A and B are shown apart, each in its own frame.
Chain A
Amino acid sequence: MIFDQARWTDDDGERYEPLLSEKRSREVEPSDDDPLPDDLTRESLELPDASEPELARHYTRLSEMNYGVESGPFPLGSCTMKYNPKFTEDIAADPAGHVHPDRPDGSVQGVLELQYRLQDYLGRIGGMDAVTLQPPAGAAGEFAGILVAKAYHESRDDDRSEVVIPDSAHGTNFASAAMAGYDVVNLPSGDDGRVNLEALEAALSEETAALMLTNPNTLGLFERDIERIAELVHDVGGLLYYDGANLNALLGRVRPGDMGFDVMHYNVHKTFATPHGGGGPGAGPVGVVEELREFLPDPHVRAVEDDDADGGTRYETYTPERSVGKVHGYQGNWLVLEKAYAYIARLGDPGLADASAKAVLNANYLAEQVEYETPFGPFHHEFVASAGEQDAADAAKRMLDYGVHPPTTKWPEIVSEALMTEPTEVESRRTLDQLADAFNAVHAEDDETLEAAPERTAARRIDQVTAAREPRLSWQALDREE
Protein backbone atom coordinates (compact mmCIF):
# COMPACT_ATOMS: atom_id res chain seq x y z
CA MET A 1 0.00 0.00 0.00
CA ILE A 2 1.65 3.22 -1.15
CA PHE A 3 -1.17 5.73 -0.87
CA ASP A 4 -4.26 5.27 1.25
CA GLN A 5 -6.93 7.93 1.55
CA ALA A 6 -9.01 5.72 3.84
CA ARG A 7 -6.65 6.53 6.71
CA TRP A 8 -7.99 10.05 6.80
CA THR A 9 -11.50 10.77 8.04
CA ASP A 10 -13.18 13.65 9.80
CA ASP A 11 -14.86 13.56 13.23
CA ASP A 12 -17.84 11.64 11.88
CA GLY A 13 -15.72 9.01 10.23
CA GLU A 14 -16.43 10.56 6.83
CA ARG A 15 -13.86 11.19 4.09
CA TYR A 16 -15.53 14.45 3.22
CA GLU A 17 -14.87 18.16 3.38
CA PRO A 18 -17.76 20.64 3.19
CA LEU A 19 -17.83 23.25 0.46
CA LEU A 20 -16.52 26.67 1.45
CA SER A 21 -20.02 28.01 0.89
CA GLU A 22 -21.34 25.54 3.45
CA LYS A 23 -18.84 26.72 6.05
CA ARG A 24 -19.39 30.44 6.03
CA SER A 25 -20.85 32.85 3.48
CA ARG A 26 -21.72 36.52 3.53
CA GLU A 27 -23.76 38.79 1.32
CA VAL A 28 -22.33 42.28 0.93
CA GLU A 29 -24.35 45.22 -0.34
CA PRO A 30 -23.16 48.64 -1.52
CA SER A 31 -22.62 51.31 1.11
CA ASP A 32 -22.85 55.10 0.94
CA ASP A 33 -19.04 55.30 0.99
CA ASP A 34 -18.67 53.41 -2.28
CA PRO A 35 -17.09 55.56 -4.99
CA LEU A 36 -19.31 54.54 -7.91
CA PRO A 37 -22.92 55.56 -8.61
CA ASP A 38 -25.67 52.98 -8.06
CA ASP A 39 -26.59 52.72 -11.73
CA LEU A 40 -23.15 51.33 -12.57
CA THR A 41 -22.86 48.85 -9.72
CA ARG A 42 -24.28 45.51 -8.70
CA GLU A 43 -26.86 45.14 -5.96
CA SER A 44 -25.02 42.60 -3.85
CA LEU A 45 -22.33 39.96 -3.79
CA GLU A 46 -22.38 36.71 -1.84
CA LEU A 47 -19.19 34.68 -1.44
CA PRO A 48 -17.53 32.45 1.16
CA ASP A 49 -16.15 34.42 4.07
CA ALA A 50 -13.97 32.02 6.03
CA SER A 51 -11.00 33.05 8.15
CA GLU A 52 -7.43 32.20 7.21
CA PRO A 53 -7.15 29.28 9.67
CA GLU A 54 -10.38 27.82 8.33
CA LEU A 55 -9.12 28.19 4.77
CA ALA A 56 -5.77 26.64 5.63
CA ARG A 57 -7.53 23.56 7.00
CA HIS A 58 -9.96 23.45 4.10
CA TYR A 59 -7.27 23.40 1.44
CA THR A 60 -5.01 21.09 3.44
CA ARG A 61 -7.85 18.58 3.71
CA LEU A 62 -8.58 18.93 0.01
CA SER A 63 -4.92 18.26 -0.74
CA GLU A 64 -5.13 15.10 1.36
CA MET A 65 -7.93 13.97 -0.92
CA ASN A 66 -5.72 14.31 -3.98
CA TYR A 67 -3.07 12.13 -5.58
CA GLY A 68 0.07 13.70 -7.03
CA VAL A 69 3.46 12.45 -8.20
CA GLU A 70 4.76 12.75 -4.66
CA SER A 71 1.89 10.61 -3.34
CA GLY A 72 3.03 7.58 -5.29
CA PRO A 73 3.74 6.22 -8.76
CA PHE A 74 1.69 7.84 -11.52
CA PRO A 75 2.15 5.66 -14.63
CA LEU A 76 -0.47 7.46 -16.70
CA GLY A 77 0.38 6.62 -20.31
CA SER A 78 1.18 9.50 -22.67
CA CYS A 79 1.18 11.96 -19.77
CA THR A 80 4.79 11.55 -18.57
CA MET A 81 4.13 12.14 -14.89
CA LYS A 82 7.68 12.73 -13.67
CA TYR A 83 8.88 13.97 -10.32
CA ASN A 84 9.13 17.78 -10.43
CA PRO A 85 12.30 19.03 -8.75
CA LYS A 86 11.76 21.51 -5.93
CA PHE A 87 14.42 24.06 -6.80
CA THR A 88 12.58 25.14 -9.92
CA GLU A 89 9.71 26.36 -7.73
CA ASP A 90 12.10 28.69 -5.90
CA ILE A 91 13.34 30.02 -9.22
CA ALA A 92 9.80 30.72 -10.44
CA ALA A 93 9.00 32.43 -7.12
CA ASP A 94 11.79 35.00 -7.57
CA PRO A 95 10.05 38.40 -7.82
CA ALA A 96 12.77 39.53 -10.24
CA GLY A 97 10.99 37.48 -12.91
CA HIS A 98 7.53 38.81 -12.07
CA VAL A 99 7.33 41.60 -14.61
CA HIS A 100 4.51 43.06 -16.65
CA PRO A 101 4.37 41.82 -20.27
CA ASP A 102 4.09 45.35 -21.70
CA ARG A 103 7.43 46.46 -20.36
CA PRO A 104 9.87 47.75 -22.98
CA ASP A 105 12.42 45.11 -24.04
CA GLY A 106 15.30 47.16 -22.68
CA SER A 107 13.97 46.89 -19.14
CA VAL A 108 13.44 43.11 -19.16
CA GLN A 109 16.74 41.86 -20.52
CA GLY A 110 16.89 39.13 -17.88
CA VAL A 111 13.58 37.60 -18.92
CA LEU A 112 14.38 37.89 -22.61
CA GLU A 113 17.85 36.39 -22.19
CA LEU A 114 16.41 33.34 -20.41
CA GLN A 115 13.75 33.00 -23.09
CA TYR A 116 16.40 33.21 -25.78
CA ARG A 117 18.51 30.56 -24.08
CA LEU A 118 15.50 28.27 -23.68
CA GLN A 119 14.63 28.73 -27.37
CA ASP A 120 18.22 27.73 -28.13
CA TYR A 121 18.23 24.68 -25.82
CA LEU A 122 14.94 23.40 -27.18
CA GLY A 123 16.19 23.88 -30.72
CA ARG A 124 19.27 21.79 -30.01
CA ILE A 125 17.28 19.06 -28.28
CA GLY A 126 14.71 18.83 -31.09
CA GLY A 127 17.07 19.41 -33.99
CA MET A 128 15.06 22.48 -34.95
CA ASP A 129 16.38 25.79 -36.28
CA ALA A 130 14.02 28.14 -34.44
CA VAL A 131 11.67 27.84 -31.47
CA THR A 132 8.80 29.99 -30.21
CA LEU A 133 7.80 29.82 -26.54
CA GLN A 134 4.37 31.43 -26.89
CA PRO A 135 1.88 28.52 -26.92
CA PRO A 136 0.53 28.01 -23.37
CA ALA A 137 -0.03 24.23 -23.68
CA GLY A 138 0.67 21.30 -25.97
CA ALA A 139 -2.62 21.64 -27.83
CA ALA A 140 -1.98 25.36 -28.28
CA GLY A 141 1.42 24.38 -29.68
CA GLU A 142 -0.22 22.03 -32.15
CA PHE A 143 -2.54 24.82 -33.24
CA ALA A 144 0.36 27.27 -33.62
CA GLY A 145 2.41 24.68 -35.51
CA ILE A 146 -0.40 23.92 -37.92
CA LEU A 147 -1.00 27.66 -38.44
CA VAL A 148 2.68 27.95 -39.36
CA ALA A 149 2.34 25.07 -41.82
CA LYS A 150 -0.75 26.70 -43.30
CA ALA A 151 0.99 30.07 -43.65
CA TYR A 152 3.92 28.32 -45.35
CA HIS A 153 1.68 26.71 -47.97
CA GLU A 154 -0.27 29.92 -48.50
CA SER A 155 2.95 31.86 -49.02
CA ARG A 156 3.60 29.56 -51.97
CA ASP A 157 0.06 30.02 -53.31
CA ASP A 158 -0.43 26.35 -52.57
CA ASP A 159 -3.96 25.84 -51.32
CA ARG A 160 -4.19 22.57 -49.37
CA SER A 161 -7.17 21.29 -47.42
CA GLU A 162 -6.19 18.15 -45.50
CA VAL A 163 -4.16 17.02 -42.52
CA VAL A 164 -3.46 13.31 -42.15
CA ILE A 165 -3.51 11.88 -38.61
CA PRO A 166 -3.05 8.25 -37.45
CA ASP A 167 -5.92 6.74 -35.47
CA SER A 168 -3.62 6.27 -32.47
CA ALA A 169 -2.82 10.01 -32.24
CA HIS A 170 -3.76 12.27 -29.34
CA GLY A 171 -7.28 13.68 -29.71
CA THR A 172 -5.90 17.21 -29.63
CA ASN A 173 -4.21 16.64 -33.03
CA PHE A 174 -7.58 16.24 -34.70
CA ALA A 175 -9.13 19.21 -32.88
CA SER A 176 -6.16 21.50 -33.56
CA ALA A 177 -6.14 20.66 -37.28
CA ALA A 178 -9.89 21.35 -37.44
CA MET A 179 -9.46 24.69 -35.64
CA ALA A 180 -6.97 25.68 -38.31
CA GLY A 181 -9.62 24.94 -40.92
CA TYR A 182 -8.36 21.60 -42.22
CA ASP A 183 -10.28 18.44 -43.02
CA VAL A 184 -8.85 15.49 -41.12
CA VAL A 185 -7.89 12.32 -42.98
CA ASN A 186 -7.82 9.37 -40.61
CA LEU A 187 -4.89 7.00 -41.05
CA PRO A 188 -5.56 3.46 -39.76
CA SER A 189 -2.67 1.73 -37.96
CA GLY A 190 -1.01 -1.32 -39.44
CA ASP A 191 -1.13 -4.79 -37.88
CA ASP A 192 2.11 -4.11 -36.03
CA GLY A 193 0.65 -0.98 -34.39
CA ARG A 194 2.76 1.31 -36.56
CA VAL A 195 2.02 3.45 -39.61
CA ASN A 196 1.11 1.28 -42.57
CA LEU A 197 3.00 2.67 -45.56
CA GLU A 198 0.41 1.59 -48.07
CA ALA A 199 -2.37 3.20 -46.08
CA LEU A 200 -0.21 6.31 -45.79
CA GLU A 201 0.35 6.48 -49.53
CA ALA A 202 -3.38 6.15 -50.07
CA ALA A 203 -4.10 8.95 -47.59
CA LEU A 204 -1.55 11.39 -49.01
CA SER A 205 -2.28 13.65 -51.94
CA GLU A 206 -1.75 17.10 -53.35
CA GLU A 207 -4.31 18.21 -50.75
CA THR A 208 -2.09 17.10 -47.83
CA ALA A 209 -0.87 20.07 -45.84
CA ALA A 210 0.76 17.94 -43.14
CA LEU A 211 1.03 14.58 -41.47
CA MET A 212 0.84 14.82 -37.66
CA LEU A 213 2.78 12.04 -36.02
CA THR A 214 4.18 11.18 -32.62
CA ASN A 215 7.23 8.96 -32.52
CA PRO A 216 7.37 6.73 -30.57
CA ASN A 217 3.62 6.45 -30.96
CA THR A 218 1.05 6.05 -28.20
CA LEU A 219 1.66 2.29 -28.12
CA GLY A 220 5.26 3.05 -27.16
CA LEU A 221 6.48 1.85 -30.58
CA PHE A 222 9.12 3.61 -32.63
CA GLU A 223 8.06 4.25 -36.23
CA ARG A 224 11.06 2.55 -37.79
CA ASP A 225 10.03 3.59 -41.29
CA ILE A 226 10.25 7.23 -40.38
CA GLU A 227 12.66 8.08 -43.21
CA ARG A 228 10.28 6.58 -45.77
CA ILE A 229 7.31 8.29 -44.09
CA ALA A 230 9.08 11.65 -44.31
CA GLU A 231 9.92 11.02 -47.94
CA LEU A 232 6.32 10.17 -48.85
CA VAL A 233 4.95 13.25 -47.12
CA HIS A 234 7.55 15.56 -48.62
CA ASP A 235 7.05 14.05 -52.08
CA VAL A 236 3.45 15.28 -52.15
CA GLY A 237 4.56 18.69 -50.89
CA GLY A 238 3.27 18.19 -47.33
CA LEU A 239 5.03 19.01 -44.08
CA LEU A 240 5.79 16.56 -41.30
CA TYR A 241 4.52 17.63 -37.86
CA TYR A 242 5.98 16.07 -34.70
CA ASP A 243 3.73 15.76 -31.65
CA GLY A 244 6.25 16.10 -28.83
CA ALA A 245 4.14 14.32 -26.21
CA ASN A 246 6.42 11.29 -26.30
CA LEU A 247 9.76 13.08 -26.63
CA ASN A 248 10.84 11.81 -23.21
CA ALA A 249 11.65 8.49 -24.91
CA LEU A 250 14.19 9.94 -27.33
CA LEU A 251 16.34 12.58 -25.62
CA GLY A 252 19.85 12.37 -26.99
CA ARG A 253 19.06 9.32 -29.18
CA VAL A 254 17.08 10.79 -32.05
CA ARG A 255 16.01 14.34 -32.84
CA PRO A 256 12.76 15.08 -34.62
CA GLY A 257 14.61 17.40 -37.01
CA ASP A 258 16.97 14.58 -37.99
CA MET A 259 14.01 12.28 -38.67
CA GLY A 260 12.67 14.72 -41.26
CA PHE A 261 10.11 16.59 -39.15
CA ASP A 262 9.59 20.20 -40.21
CA VAL A 263 7.62 21.50 -37.25
CA MET A 264 7.08 20.17 -33.74
CA HIS A 265 5.81 21.10 -30.31
CA TYR A 266 7.41 20.34 -26.96
CA ASN A 267 5.37 19.57 -23.84
CA VAL A 268 7.57 21.11 -21.19
CA HIS A 269 5.24 19.84 -18.46
CA LYS A 270 6.01 16.31 -19.66
CA THR A 271 9.56 16.05 -21.00
CA PHE A 272 11.00 18.86 -18.91
CA ALA A 273 9.36 18.06 -15.61
CA THR A 274 7.41 21.21 -14.85
CA PRO A 275 4.44 20.39 -12.61
CA HIS A 276 1.13 19.56 -14.30
CA GLY A 277 -0.75 21.50 -11.63
CA GLY A 278 -3.86 19.34 -11.80
CA GLY A 279 -4.23 20.14 -15.50
CA GLY A 280 -2.13 23.20 -16.20
CA PRO A 281 -0.48 25.56 -16.62
CA GLY A 282 1.70 23.81 -19.15
CA ALA A 283 3.63 25.26 -22.05
CA GLY A 284 3.91 24.08 -25.63
CA PRO A 285 6.87 25.70 -27.41
CA VAL A 286 7.00 25.10 -31.16
CA GLY A 287 10.17 24.36 -33.13
CA VAL A 288 10.53 24.73 -36.89
CA VAL A 289 13.13 24.24 -39.60
CA GLU A 290 14.77 27.29 -41.13
CA GLU A 291 12.26 27.55 -44.00
CA LEU A 292 9.42 28.10 -41.54
CA ARG A 293 11.13 30.55 -39.20
CA GLU A 294 9.59 33.65 -40.78
CA PHE A 295 6.07 32.36 -39.97
CA LEU A 296 6.57 31.96 -36.20
CA PRO A 297 4.15 33.69 -33.81
CA ASP A 298 4.56 37.32 -32.85
CA PRO A 299 6.74 38.15 -31.00
CA HIS A 300 9.88 36.04 -31.16
CA VAL A 301 13.08 36.72 -29.20
CA ARG A 302 16.44 37.31 -30.87
CA ALA A 303 19.93 38.31 -29.79
CA VAL A 304 21.59 41.43 -31.13
CA GLU A 305 25.28 42.12 -30.70
CA ASP A 306 25.60 45.42 -28.91
CA ASP A 307 28.82 46.81 -27.50
CA ASP A 308 26.89 49.01 -25.08
CA ALA A 309 25.11 46.13 -23.33
CA ASP A 310 26.46 44.03 -20.45
CA GLY A 311 28.26 41.14 -22.04
CA GLY A 312 27.87 42.66 -25.49
CA THR A 313 24.53 41.01 -26.23
CA ARG A 314 21.12 42.58 -26.14
CA TYR A 315 17.87 40.64 -26.52
CA GLU A 316 14.85 41.97 -28.33
CA THR A 317 11.39 40.86 -29.34
CA TYR A 318 10.47 41.21 -33.01
CA THR A 319 7.71 40.18 -35.35
CA PRO A 320 8.87 37.50 -37.80
CA GLU A 321 8.43 38.69 -41.38
CA ARG A 322 5.35 36.61 -42.23
CA SER A 323 4.23 35.83 -38.70
CA VAL A 324 1.02 33.89 -38.12
CA GLY A 325 0.20 36.37 -35.36
CA LYS A 326 -0.63 35.27 -31.85
CA VAL A 327 -2.01 32.18 -30.09
CA HIS A 328 -1.81 33.74 -26.59
CA GLY A 329 -2.54 37.29 -25.48
CA TYR A 330 1.03 37.79 -24.34
CA GLN A 331 4.05 35.49 -24.35
CA GLY A 332 2.62 32.24 -22.97
CA ASN A 333 3.18 30.71 -19.57
CA TRP A 334 6.44 32.35 -18.56
CA LEU A 335 6.79 30.86 -15.07
CA VAL A 336 6.45 27.35 -16.53
CA LEU A 337 9.09 28.12 -19.14
CA GLU A 338 11.43 29.39 -16.42
CA LYS A 339 11.10 26.03 -14.64
CA ALA A 340 11.77 24.14 -17.87
CA TYR A 341 14.92 26.17 -18.46
CA ALA A 342 16.16 25.36 -14.97
CA TYR A 343 15.42 21.65 -15.40
CA ILE A 344 17.30 21.42 -18.70
CA ALA A 345 20.24 23.36 -17.28
CA ARG A 346 20.38 21.06 -14.26
CA LEU A 347 20.47 17.87 -16.36
CA GLY A 348 22.54 18.96 -19.33
CA ASP A 349 23.57 16.46 -22.00
CA PRO A 350 24.26 13.49 -19.72
CA GLY A 351 21.16 13.98 -17.58
CA LEU A 352 18.80 14.35 -20.52
CA ALA A 353 20.20 11.26 -22.22
CA ASP A 354 20.03 9.29 -19.00
CA ALA A 355 16.44 10.38 -18.37
CA SER A 356 15.42 8.74 -21.64
CA ALA A 357 17.54 5.67 -20.99
CA LYS A 358 15.92 5.10 -17.61
CA ALA A 359 12.43 5.94 -18.85
CA VAL A 360 12.76 3.30 -21.56
CA LEU A 361 14.38 0.79 -19.20
CA ASN A 362 11.60 1.29 -16.65
CA ALA A 363 8.85 0.79 -19.23
CA ASN A 364 10.42 -2.38 -20.53
CA TYR A 365 11.16 -3.71 -17.05
CA LEU A 366 7.60 -3.11 -15.87
CA ALA A 367 6.15 -4.62 -19.07
CA GLU A 368 8.21 -7.71 -18.28
CA GLN A 369 6.81 -7.97 -14.75
CA VAL A 370 3.10 -7.58 -15.43
CA GLU A 371 0.99 -10.62 -16.16
CA TYR A 372 -1.41 -8.84 -18.47
CA GLU A 373 -0.75 -9.49 -22.13
CA THR A 374 1.42 -6.81 -23.72
CA PRO A 375 1.01 -7.02 -27.49
CA PHE A 376 3.40 -5.36 -29.97
CA GLY A 377 6.83 -4.11 -28.90
CA PRO A 378 9.65 -3.53 -28.47
CA PHE A 379 8.61 -0.68 -26.26
CA HIS A 380 10.07 2.71 -25.67
CA HIS A 381 8.76 4.96 -22.86
CA GLU A 382 5.41 3.23 -22.43
CA PHE A 383 3.61 0.01 -23.18
CA VAL A 384 -0.01 -0.85 -23.70
CA ALA A 385 -1.21 -3.97 -21.93
CA SER A 386 -4.61 -5.51 -22.55
CA ALA A 387 -6.90 -6.18 -19.60
CA GLY A 388 -8.24 -9.05 -21.72
CA GLU A 389 -11.58 -10.27 -20.38
CA GLN A 390 -11.55 -7.65 -17.65
CA ASP A 391 -12.97 -4.17 -18.07
CA ALA A 392 -9.91 -1.89 -18.15
CA ALA A 393 -11.73 0.89 -16.30
CA ASP A 394 -12.74 -1.49 -13.50
CA ALA A 395 -9.21 -2.85 -13.27
CA ALA A 396 -7.96 0.72 -12.94
CA LYS A 397 -10.39 1.49 -10.10
CA ARG A 398 -9.19 -1.61 -8.27
CA MET A 399 -5.55 -0.51 -8.61
CA LEU A 400 -6.47 2.55 -6.55
CA ASP A 401 -7.14 0.20 -3.64
CA TYR A 402 -3.58 -1.07 -3.91
CA GLY A 403 -2.36 2.47 -3.38
CA VAL A 404 -1.12 3.25 -6.87
CA HIS A 405 -2.41 5.50 -9.62
CA PRO A 406 -3.62 3.37 -12.53
CA PRO A 407 -2.55 3.68 -16.15
CA THR A 408 -4.54 5.41 -18.89
CA THR A 409 -7.42 3.13 -19.85
CA LYS A 410 -9.28 2.10 -23.01
CA TRP A 411 -6.99 4.06 -25.31
CA PRO A 412 -5.61 3.68 -27.90
CA GLU A 413 -8.44 1.56 -29.23
CA ILE A 414 -6.09 -0.62 -31.28
CA VAL A 415 -5.61 -2.71 -28.13
CA SER A 416 -8.80 -4.00 -26.54
CA GLU A 417 -9.30 -2.92 -22.92
CA ALA A 418 -6.05 -0.98 -23.09
CA LEU A 419 -3.94 -0.20 -20.02
CA MET A 420 -1.49 2.37 -21.32
CA THR A 421 1.38 2.49 -18.90
CA GLU A 422 4.27 4.95 -18.66
CA PRO A 423 6.32 4.70 -15.48
CA THR A 424 8.93 7.38 -16.46
CA GLU A 425 12.52 7.41 -15.26
CA VAL A 426 11.81 8.61 -11.75
CA GLU A 427 10.56 5.28 -10.35
CA SER A 428 12.99 2.95 -8.61
CA ARG A 429 13.10 -0.78 -9.22
CA ARG A 430 11.42 -1.27 -5.85
CA THR A 431 8.50 0.98 -6.81
CA LEU A 432 8.17 -0.73 -10.19
CA ASP A 433 7.98 -4.06 -8.38
CA GLN A 434 5.23 -2.66 -6.14
CA LEU A 435 3.42 -1.39 -9.21
CA ALA A 436 3.73 -4.78 -10.88
CA ASP A 437 2.38 -6.41 -7.72
CA ALA A 438 -0.66 -4.15 -7.92
CA PHE A 439 -1.18 -4.97 -11.62
CA ASN A 440 -0.82 -8.66 -10.94
CA ALA A 441 -3.08 -8.71 -7.89
CA VAL A 442 -5.79 -7.03 -9.95
CA HIS A 443 -5.13 -9.38 -12.85
CA ALA A 444 -5.99 -12.30 -10.58
CA GLU A 445 -9.27 -10.88 -9.30
CA ASP A 446 -12.83 -11.50 -10.42
CA ASP A 447 -15.19 -9.01 -12.01
CA GLU A 448 -17.29 -8.66 -8.89
CA THR A 449 -14.31 -7.43 -6.88
CA LEU A 450 -13.26 -5.04 -9.63
CA GLU A 451 -16.76 -3.62 -10.00
CA ALA A 452 -16.95 -2.90 -6.27
CA ALA A 453 -13.69 -0.92 -6.28
CA PRO A 454 -12.40 1.42 -5.07
CA GLU A 455 -12.85 1.31 -1.31
CA ARG A 456 -9.73 2.94 0.08
CA THR A 457 -10.17 6.30 -1.60
CA ALA A 458 -11.78 9.57 -0.54
CA ALA A 459 -14.79 8.77 -2.72
CA ARG A 460 -16.11 5.36 -3.75
CA ARG A 461 -16.97 4.75 -7.41
CA ILE A 462 -18.56 7.92 -8.79
CA ASP A 463 -21.70 7.94 -10.86
CA GLN A 464 -20.51 9.53 -14.13
CA VAL A 465 -23.79 9.03 -15.96
CA THR A 466 -25.85 11.11 -13.55
CA ALA A 467 -23.14 13.76 -13.48
CA ALA A 468 -23.51 14.20 -17.23
CA ARG A 469 -27.27 13.68 -17.47
CA GLU A 470 -28.15 16.12 -14.71
CA PRO A 471 -25.24 18.55 -14.69
CA ARG A 472 -24.72 20.36 -11.38
CA LEU A 473 -21.74 22.61 -11.93
CA SER A 474 -21.82 25.01 -8.99
CA TRP A 475 -22.86 25.19 -5.35
CA GLN A 476 -25.71 27.43 -6.52
CA ALA A 477 -27.01 24.47 -8.55
CA LEU A 478 -26.79 22.23 -5.46
CA ASP A 479 -28.60 24.85 -3.37
CA ARG A 480 -31.42 25.07 -5.91
CA GLU A 481 -32.07 21.36 -5.53
CA GLU A 482 -32.46 21.52 -1.78
Chain B
Amino acid sequence: MMKKSILKNLLLAALVIALAVVPLMTLKHAEFGGADGQAEEAITELQPSYEPWFAPFWEPPGGEVESLLFALQAALGAGVLGYGLGFLRASREPSGEAQV
Protein backbone atom coordinates (compact mmCIF):
# COMPACT_ATOMS: atom_id res chain seq x y z
CA MET B 1 0.00 0.00 0.00
CA MET B 2 2.62 2.51 1.15
CA LYS B 3 5.13 1.21 -1.38
CA LYS B 4 2.69 1.67 -4.21
CA SER B 5 2.01 5.30 -3.43
CA ILE B 6 5.71 6.08 -3.10
CA LEU B 7 6.33 4.61 -6.52
CA LYS B 8 3.45 6.58 -7.97
CA ASN B 9 4.76 9.81 -6.47
CA LEU B 10 8.24 9.15 -7.81
CA LEU B 11 6.83 8.67 -11.28
CA LEU B 12 4.80 11.85 -11.03
CA ALA B 13 7.82 13.80 -9.79
CA ALA B 14 9.86 12.49 -12.70
CA LEU B 15 7.17 13.75 -15.06
CA VAL B 16 7.28 17.25 -13.53
CA ILE B 17 11.06 17.32 -13.84
CA ALA B 18 10.86 16.16 -17.45
CA LEU B 19 8.40 18.93 -18.27
CA ALA B 20 10.92 21.49 -17.04
CA VAL B 21 14.03 19.90 -18.49
CA VAL B 22 12.76 19.30 -22.02
CA PRO B 23 12.52 23.01 -22.89
CA LEU B 24 16.02 23.52 -21.50
CA MET B 25 17.39 20.72 -23.66
CA THR B 26 15.58 21.66 -26.82
CA LEU B 27 15.75 25.46 -26.72
CA LYS B 28 19.48 25.92 -26.65
CA HIS B 29 19.57 29.66 -27.22
CA ALA B 30 16.61 30.87 -25.24
CA GLU B 31 17.21 33.24 -22.35
CA PHE B 32 14.47 31.91 -20.09
CA GLY B 33 13.59 35.30 -18.75
CA GLY B 34 10.24 36.06 -17.20
CA ALA B 35 6.93 36.56 -18.91
CA ASP B 36 5.90 39.77 -17.17
CA GLY B 37 8.84 41.68 -18.61
CA GLN B 38 7.42 40.78 -22.00
CA ALA B 39 4.02 42.02 -20.90
CA GLU B 40 5.57 45.36 -20.03
CA GLU B 41 7.02 45.56 -23.54
CA ALA B 42 3.66 44.64 -25.02
CA ILE B 43 1.95 47.44 -23.11
CA THR B 44 4.54 49.88 -24.36
CA GLU B 45 3.88 48.70 -27.91
CA LEU B 46 0.11 48.92 -27.59
CA GLN B 47 0.08 52.29 -25.88
CA PRO B 48 3.46 54.00 -26.27
CA SER B 49 2.24 57.01 -24.31
CA TYR B 50 1.36 55.03 -21.16
CA GLU B 51 3.32 55.98 -18.08
CA PRO B 52 3.10 53.84 -14.92
CA TRP B 53 1.50 56.10 -12.34
CA PHE B 54 2.86 54.39 -9.27
CA ALA B 55 6.21 52.85 -8.37
CA PRO B 56 7.11 50.16 -5.81
CA PHE B 57 8.37 51.50 -2.50
CA TRP B 58 11.23 49.07 -2.29
CA GLU B 59 12.97 46.61 -4.54
CA PRO B 60 15.45 43.92 -3.56
CA PRO B 61 18.90 45.31 -4.31
CA GLY B 62 20.45 43.03 -6.89
CA GLY B 63 20.13 39.49 -8.10
CA GLU B 64 21.89 37.86 -5.16
CA VAL B 65 19.56 39.35 -2.55
CA GLU B 66 16.69 38.37 -4.76
CA SER B 67 17.81 34.76 -4.94
CA LEU B 68 18.28 34.75 -1.16
CA LEU B 69 14.67 35.80 -0.64
CA PHE B 70 13.62 33.35 -3.24
CA ALA B 71 15.37 30.42 -1.58
CA LEU B 72 13.95 31.45 1.79
CA GLN B 73 10.48 31.53 0.35
CA ALA B 74 10.76 28.00 -0.92
CA ALA B 75 12.37 26.79 2.31
CA LEU B 76 9.72 28.34 4.55
CA GLY B 77 6.84 27.05 2.50
CA ALA B 78 8.33 23.58 2.40
CA GLY B 79 9.04 23.76 6.12
CA VAL B 80 5.44 24.55 7.03
CA LEU B 81 4.18 21.90 4.66
CA GLY B 82 6.60 19.29 5.98
CA TYR B 83 5.81 20.15 9.60
CA GLY B 84 2.12 19.81 8.87
CA LEU B 85 2.52 16.44 7.18
CA GLY B 86 4.65 15.14 10.02
CA PHE B 87 2.18 16.40 12.59
CA LEU B 88 -0.76 14.81 10.80
CA ARG B 89 1.01 11.55 10.40
CA ALA B 90 2.07 11.37 14.04
CA SER B 91 -1.34 12.30 15.36
CA ARG B 92 -3.28 9.97 13.13
CA GLU B 93 -5.31 7.37 14.93
CA PRO B 94 -3.56 4.06 14.33
CA SER B 95 -5.52 2.35 11.62
CA GLY B 96 -5.07 -1.13 10.23
CA GLU B 97 -1.99 0.10 8.46
CA ALA B 98 1.35 -0.51 10.13
CA GLN B 99 3.12 2.70 11.14
CA VAL B 100 6.19 2.86 8.95
Binding partners A and B: no
Partner-B contacts on A (CB < 8 A): none
